Chain A
Amino acid sequence: MRSTFLGFETARRGLSASQKGLDITGQNMSNVSTPGYSRQRLDLVSLSVSPQDRFRSVSATNAGEGVQVAGVNQLRDRFIDTRLRSELANEAYFETSLDVLHSLEGVLNEVDQGFKPLLSDLVSSLHGLTLNPDQTTQANMVRTSLQTLNSVMNHTASQLEQLKHQFSGRLAIDVAEFNLQLKSIANFNQAIVSQGLHNREGVSTSSVNELIDQRNLALDKLSRFVNVQTRLENNGTVSLSVHDQTILSEDFIDSINLISMPNQNVAIAWQSSGQAVQAQSGSLIASVDSINGDTPHTAGIAFYQQQLGTLARSIAAVVNQSFTQTDGTFKTVLTYDHAQAGATIALSQAFSTNPRYIIQEGASNLSNQHIHQLIARLEGNGDIEGFNGSFNDFIQQYSVNLAQDISFMQTRQSVSSSIVFDLEQRRDAISGVSLDEEGAEMMKYIKSFNAIARLMTTMDEALDIIINRLGTVGR
């Protein structure tokens, strides 16, 4: 037997569902530009209050009971999220590495300035000295050339040290930001669990969707620092690990410490184990690699400091083996500070105060062959530690090495950015808000609302017939 007011109840549920639908559409439209927001959909199910399976019911008594709002669904693809986060870590690695390499190229640029023209100036001034080997003016020109070369070398060394300092500072900020993001993910985990309304990601009946969005946003940010693996737990929390080491679970949270090493090098280690952070990608790893890298294959700031040191040391050695004193021993023309990581090269006190220090006095020493020998060594091969080539070749080699690293990184960064772009577009295709679609939804719900309002009127008219007009014949 159907109850009298069943139709009103059905219409009321329909009106509520349509209004909720309009609310969700409004929520989507309001958050069209909110970072990290995933579009939401109302989960509507046809209502059956009968304990029996309604499809097998032979009775029509319980049919037509209307609609029920089962929940608010958040549209997201976890596979795309995982892929995107992994690629974000790669992109951040290449971007950070490129940033350091571009800064290095700015300091060591051979196109606009650099050591090659200075070395050529030195050779030219030495040629000038061969023309007039006992003229103070020519010796002074050699002194000026050497002084300029030294100043630029020392300035470059100090710029490299500053770069190390600056990028170490940025790493410290990144480490703090990483720890903060990790803590905020832990807080979101707690908040989601405390809501107690969550069974599986994407389905909820409360504002937990917004918490999930914010957690996802924090996870995206975190992924740029280090490539983290995420695992969704049954209670709705996420566990995180890096290189198989758990860094966040329901009852554990780790953090990263920045450790200063000798020669301004740096290291990052986990607070819990003290072990170095090991990962393939991410800006933190790129910063550490770029600051500490000291081999041609992992060339970072430290490598170019070494190259500069080798260049300065070798030039000092060659120049100091060229001018002899009366007792046959060599004159110290340049001094080199071995304690410094980069170059700290200077004119010796004797040469600095008297340019004639390099002039070989006396009738027996009128030859200029020693100057030619110095020129030959500066232009020839084999006078640089561990390098078979000239000074020009050495400078060219590390410049080209740097440029090739930049070129290689640019290609990889460009590929990675394209992948990130593609994945973001694909994520947006699922989770993003389309105003066209929301407009259509809005029209759909308003039409549905209008129709149900009409149903209510019809029901009212039907009841009016039953109550007021039924059996009035002959009254």
Chain B
Amino acid sequence: MRVTGKSLQRSFIRGLNQNANRLTASQTRINTGQRFTKVSDNVSDATQALHVRTLLQRNETFLNNASEVQARLSAQENQLLYIHSSVQEAQELIMRGFSQTHSEIDRNTIATQIRGIRDAVIQSINAKTANHYTFASSANEPPIRIQGDLVLYHGQDVNNFAADSERTEFQVSMGPTLNIQQSALGVLGFGVDENNVANNLIHVLNQAAQAIQSDNQSLRGVLTTKMEEAQTSLLVRVSDVGMKARFMDSNIERLNSENLTLLTQQNKLEAVDVAEEIVLNKTHEMAWQINLQMGAKILPMSLFDFMR
């Protein structure tokens, strides 16, 4: 086959272009630190990497949610334990108030103490963590308000409620959501029993203070039972919150571990192995330089260079 100057030139330029392309691609990988900048650079790895990115972002969201849930559960537990200890204290006062050895002054003092505990319970149930009410899914208004003799939950008489429907669902993993809401309605109780006695703790404390003040012994049994029920209910709630908090701890641990795995996977898929890439880059650079040098030697050469 005849080899002409033009074919040598074409071949040289083609080789030079190919080397320059490889060198540029390698340079881009070193500059960006990424093995690809477009999906078409490496369809298979880029597709996997995009999937891993989605999982990572989702995991981050779940971790945020789990941390928030943990904080809220902790706040709920603290308040519930405080309310429980208040109820215990009130229960002792009620027992003491109904014993017939006290004078009217003593009974008045006990009733005042019980009302003080009631107010503390109201304060506790309306407590805020950060900018959020601990026992309400709404941030705009305290869940419990007292209006005369009425105890209002979001503006409605607690005695008129038949069920607690307030829920705050959180998603901390793929799958079903988790309700972490301890509503003020549920914690304090709602509705009335078959004897038309209010189940709500505030009402019970009000009634107890009033009964002790007026020495009305007929309510002693009912109110003592109500207080015991309230204590039991609070303990159940504390244990429910504790269980959820433990679940959240293990969930955060799992999410952190998954995150680590995903980050490793992402690094493997997307990040350039710098040492390997630099070696490759140097090889391309050398090939490019050799090509240039050879081209400079070959291209002008012809018979004319040797003619006299």
Q: Which A residues are closer than 8 A to B by beta carbons? A: 32-33, 102, 105, 109-112, 116-117, 120, 123-124, 127, 130-135, 363, 366-369, 372, 375, 379, 392, 396, 399-400, 402-404, 406-407, 410, 421, 424-426, 428-430, 432-437, 439-440
A372–B171 contact, CB under 8 A? yes
- Given the known interface contacts A400-B47, A403-B40, the answer about A366 and B138 at a Cβ–Cβ threshold of 8 Å is yes
B29-57 CB contact bits vs A (8 Å, 1 = yes)? Answer: 00000101111100100110111011001
B303–A111 contact, CB under 8 A? no
Interface size (B, Cβ < 8 Å)? Answer: 54
Which of A110, A406, A437 interacts with B50 by CB under 8 Å? A110
Cβ contacts under 8 Å, A127 to chain B: 61, 64-65, 171
A372 to B169, CA, bound (A): 8
B171–A130 contact, CB under 8 A? yes
Cβ contacts under 8 Å, A432 to chain B: 2, 4-7
A403–B154 contact, CB under 8 A? no
A379 to B57, CA, bound (A): 13
Question: Is B10 among interface residues, defined by CB-CB distance under 8 A?
Answer: yes
Main SS at interface, chain A: helix
A-B contact count (CB 8 A): 155
State how many angstroms separate the Cβ of B107 from the closest Cβ of chain A: 38
A400–B39 contact, CB under 8 A? yes
Question: Is B170 among interface residues, defined by CB-CB distance under 8 A?
Answer: yes
A340 to B253, CA, bound (A): 48
A407–B303 contact, CB under 8 A? no
Nearest-CB residue, chain A, relative to B54? A392
Cβ contacts under 8 Å, B170 to chain A: 130-131
Which of B4, B37, B177 interacts with A434 by CB under 8 Å? B4
A190 to B132, CA, bound (A): 90
A123 to B65, CA, bound (A): 12
Which of A111, A117, A433 interacts with B46 by CB under 8 Å? A111
Most buried by B among A112, A120, A375, A421: A120
Question: Is B68 among interface residues, defined by CB-CB distance under 8 A?
Answer: yes
A429 to B1, CA, bound (A): 6
Which of B10, B51, B165 interacts with A425 by CB under 8 Å? B10
Cβ contacts under 8 Å, B60 to chain A: 124
Question: Is B96 among interface residues, defined by CB-CB distance under 8 A?
Answer: no
Cβ contacts under 8 Å, B169 to chain A: 130, 367-369, 372
State how many angstroms separate the Cβ of B18 from the closest Cβ of chain A: 10
Q: What are the 9 closest A-B residue pairs judged by CB atoms, nearest first? A: A363-B154, A432-B4, A439-B303, A403-B39, A406-B40, A435-B302, A403-B40, A120-B57, A428-B7
A403–B166 contact, CB under 8 A? no
